[in-house]
Amino acid sequence: MYGCIQFLNIKFTLFIVSSLLLSGCDKAPPIPDEKFLELYIDLLIIQDTTTATNFSLDSVKTLVLDRHNVSSGQYDAMIDYYNSQPDKWIVFFDSATAYVDQLKLEAENQP
């Protein structure tokens, strides 16, 4: 009887340990990275080009999120996702810089 209880305790302990290990693994981001990049840059552009007297920052954020079909909860979850893995922010901002450079080139090449 004691051996059976000891076996169940070991099994339970293995279950808890494996659950904790798996919960620490990378999860998929709530928003695809490319979509988040475009959304983030759109937010920066509209915030920097809109006067505070025309729109509040909350209304600007809501407008951009709606344009990208993303909820405020998804956006916040994506920020949390990046904050939980700070190295991802470095890659993100490198990509953001390249994306803004691409937008500049496209704007310069328009008639």
Tens-binned pLDDT, residue by residue, of the chain (111 aa): 545 454 444 444 434 434 433 444 567 888 999 999 999 999 988 888 876 666 777 888 898 999 999 999 999 999 999 999 999 999 999 999 999 999 889 989 987
- Tokens representing residue 59 in the block: 């209304």
Q: Can you tell me the distance from the alpha carbon of 7 to that of 84, in angstroms, rounded to the nearest whole number?
A: 36
The whole-number pLDDT of residue 26 equals: 60
